[in-house]
Amino acid sequence: MPKILVLYYSTYGHVEQMAYAVADGVKAAGVEVEVKRVPELVSEESAQRHHFKTDQKAPIALPSELPEYDGIIVGAPTRFGRLPAQMANFWDQTGGLWAKGGLIGKVGAVFTSTASQHGGQETTLYSLMSNLLHHGLVISGLPYSYQGQLAVDEVTGGAPYGATTIAAGDGSRQPSQNELDGAKFLGSHVAELTKKLTAK
Ligand SMILES: Cc1cc2nc3c(=O)[nH]c(=O)nc-3n(C[C@H](O)[C@H](O)[C@H](O)COP(=O)(O)O)c2cc1C
C-alpha cells in the first residue's frame, strides 16, 4: 500500500487548510496519507507578537523520514514570490539524501498561498518544485480536468502548476470551496499516479 506525505509550512493557517484538503483527496483515492509540517524558525515571542497561528496539530517532519513515502506533496505560502525560509531550511538538510538518490522516482506535487492574485503563485510553485526536481521526483501539476481552475466569475486560485489559494493582504480571505476542491483534486490525482508507479 503506497503512502503519501503532505508536508507544509503555514504562518497564518491558509496553507494548513489546503494541506488537509490535499490529504482528504489522497484518502478519497484509497491511499494512506500523513500530514506533517516543517519547524518554525521564528522565535516564540516574535511568532506571538505577529499573530502566527501557533496551534497547528500536524507533527514536525524530519528530513530522514522522507524515504518512507512513495509520494510527497509540498505546500508553503509565498515570500517575495518564492518559498519561505522555513521550507527551504528543511530541504537544505536533505543533501545526504540527495547524494544517495534517496527520493528518485517518487511522485511530487506542490501547493501555495499568496496575499494577492498576482503576487507570485506560479513562481512560488516553481521554487517549491525545484527542490523536488533536484531530488529526482516525478512532478505532477493540477490537470485541467480540475475545471475549477478555469473559473473567472470569482476571485480564485488554482493553476496547472499546483493548487493555490489567495489570502488577501491582511490574511482575512480564507480558502474558497473552489480552491479547497482543487487541493483535494491534486491529492487524489497524485494518489492515483502513485498507485500506478508503485504497482507490482
Ligand atoms: C515576508 C513576507 C513576504 C511576502 N511576500 C508576498 C508576495 O511576494 N506576494 C504575495 O502575494 N504575498 C506575500 N506575502 C503574504 C503571504 O504569502 C501570506 O501571508 C500567505 O500566503 C498566507 O498563508 P499562510 O496563512 O499559510 O501563512 C508575504 C508575507 C510575508 C510575511
Sign of the Cα torsion 200, 19, 188, 119 reads negative
Structural contact between residues 110 and 73, judged by C-beta atoms closer than 8 angstroms:
yes
Distance 194 CA to ligand 1 centre (A): 31
Query: Pocket around ligand 1: residues whose beta carbon is below 6 Å from it?
Result: 10-15, 77-81, 113-116, 119-120, 167, 171
Distance 175 CA to ligand 1 centre (A): 14
pLDDT digits (tens, 9 = 90+) for 77-135: 999 999 999 999 999 999 999 999 999 999 999 999 999 999 999 999 999 999 999 99
pLDDT digits (tens, 9 = 90+) for 164-182: 999 999 999 999 999 999 9
Number of domains observed in the structure of the chain: 1
For 169, left (φ over 0), alpha (ψ -120 to 50), or beta? alpha
Going by pLDDT thresholds of 50, 70 and 90, the confidence category of residue 6 is very high
Residue nearest atom 8 of ligand 1, based on CA coordinates: 80
Residue 200 scores a pLDDT above 90: no
DSSP designation for 53: -
Greatest Cα pair distance, the chain, in angstroms, is: 52
Closest CA to 76 of 24, 145, 126, 141: 126
Residue nearest atom 7 of ligand 1, based on CA coordinates: 80
Region 4-9: mean pLDDT is: 99
**Domain limits for position 171:** 3-198
Share of the chain above pLDDT 70, in %: 100
Q: Which grid coordinates are listed for 173?
A: 480571505
- Give helix 14-28 / helix 177-198 axis angle, nearest 10°: 50
pLDDT digits (tens, 9 = 90+) for 51-85: 999 999 999 999 999 999 999 999 999 999 999 99
Distance 36 CA to ligand 1 centre (A): 20
Residue 151 scores a pLDDT above 90: yes
> What CATH number should be reported for the domain holding residue 129?
3.40.50.360
9 Cα nearest atom in ligand 1: 26
